[in-house]
Amino acid sequence: MPPPRRYQSGETDRVGAISKAGDPAARVALFEAAHVLLTRVARGSALKAWGMRLAQRRGAKRAKVALARKLAGILHRMWVSKSDFRSGAPAAAMEG
């Protein structure tokens, strides 16, 4: 997932929405995975708990987008380190 857009000029520094750059199919797949995790998966996990807390505060759609971005980060780290997914990941990996 691409980083949020930034506008910087002089003393102004605004962080905008996540841009729609990148592969559309990957964005759709990540959003669908986040949707399924929040709505269909009955088994609890740290990711689901984080997403549900965010959904209560900010709304379901924003929570799904944030969870999709977090999933992208986890998948990237798994790819780079050539490791398998561990559902009991350290708390530091879940922060953010």
Residues 13, 6: contact at Cβ < 8 Å?
Answer: yes
Global pTM exceeds 0.85: no
Looking at the DSSP bridge assignments, the partners of residue 8 are 13
Distance in angstroms (rounded) separating the CA atoms of residues 25 and 32: 10
Residue 63: Cβ within 10 Å count: 21
Q: Which residues contact 4 (CB under 8 A, 6 or more apart)?
A: 15, 16, 17, 18, 19
How many angstroms separate the Cα of 8 from the Cα of each of 15, 17, 21? 9, 14, 19
Chain segment 2-51, per-residue pLDDT in tens: 666 777 788 877 776 666 778 889 989 999 999 999 999 888 888 999 99
